[in-house]
Structure 1
C-alpha cells in the first residue's frame, strides 16, 4: 500500500481535474473540504465500477449511513451492519476495491457524487444510476444519474452501479 500520510500531497502534485492520477487509483475530481470543514481533501474516483449491484439492507434503518458528506464513515457502517439477508453489495464492492496499491476506497457520499457530477461527469455512464453511501430512509438510498441533474432517492433493492472513491488530505507545500 502507498502511504500518503508520511509524505502528504500538495496542490502541485495534483493533475488537472478529470485526468487519471497516476499512483492514486483513479480520476481526480477536485478538492473538497474535509468532513468538518477545516482541511481540504483531494477527491479521487476509481476508473472501475460494479454494475448491477443493489444498495442492500432494504427495510433496515442504517443509522450510521446518514451522512451526506462522509462516504468513508457511511461505508464502514454499511459493511459492518450485519445484514446477512440483504448485504450492502455496493458498499462491500467499494470497500474491497484496490488500485495502485491503495485500499482506502469507499462508496462515495451523496455530496461526493455531486462533486463528480459537476467535475468529471464524462467518466460515468449517463444511462445508468450510481449509488451513494447515504441512506435516505429504511427503503431508499441516494443515487445519481450522470445523464441529468436530479438526485433521487432510489429503492435499496434495485440494481445500479457502484464507483469507489477515496479522499486524501491536501498539505501545504512547506509541510510535505
Structure 2
C-alpha cells in the first residue's frame, strides 16, 4: 500500500513549477471526491514512452475508480496480470520520493488541464482506470474526443503522479 505525506509543507509552488524535494511538477489541489481529503497533485518530470496498459482481455474491475489512481495502481500490480504502465509509474522515483502511481482518469484530466505543456498533443496517455476487459481510459490532447483505447496499444505514454494531502494549515482563511 502506498503511504502519503500528511503534514503541511511550506513553500507550495505555483502551478507549473517543479516542487524541489517533492519529485514533481505542481499541478494544483485535487478536490474532495468520494469523501477523501483534498491533496496537492504532482506530475512526474519524466514520462514512459511506447508502453502498453496491459492485461488485455482480462478484467481488472477493481481498477475502475475515476478518481483514485493510487488504489487503481495497487489493484493492477496485485492482480496477477502484467501492467507495464502501472509498473513504470509505481517504480518511478525522484528527489527520494517513492510514492508515485499511475493517475486515475480525473487526476490525468486535472494534470493535463493545469499543465498542458507537459503533454504531447499527438500522443496517447494512459490512466489507471479500466474501462472494460479490452480497453482502459486515458486521453489524447488533440481535437479527438477519445476516452479509451485498447489495453494492448503499444505506443502509449504514461506520466506518474504523487499526492500530498492538504492540511488545515495549508488552506487560507479570512477573518
TM-score, scaled to structure 1:
0.88
Shift of 1:149: 6.6
Aligned counterpart for 1:104 among listed residues 95, 99, 105: 99
CA contact (8 A) 2:42 2:161 kept: yes
The aligned counterpart of 1:115 is: 110
What is the RMSD computed on CA atoms of the aligned residues?
A: 1.9
Q: Describe the superposition over 1:62-86 as per-residue Cα deviations: whole angstroms up to 9, x where unpaired.
A: 0110000000000000011112xxx
The aligned counterpart of 1:9 is: 8
**Unaligned stretches of 5+ in structure 1?**
none
Tell me the SS of whatever aligns to 1:173.
Answer: helix
Cα 1:149–1:101 change in 2 (3 A) is farther
Shift of 1:148: 3.6
Q: Describe the superposition over 1:115-168 as per-residue Cα deviations: whole angstroms up to 9, x where unpaired.
A: 012110111111101000000000000011123472421000002001000111
CA contact (8 A) 2:112 2:118 kept: no
Cα 1:34–1:105 change in 2 (3 A) is farther
Equivalent pairs, count: 167
**Unaligned stretches of 5+ in structure 2?**
none
2-structure distance, mates of 1:134, 1:104? 18
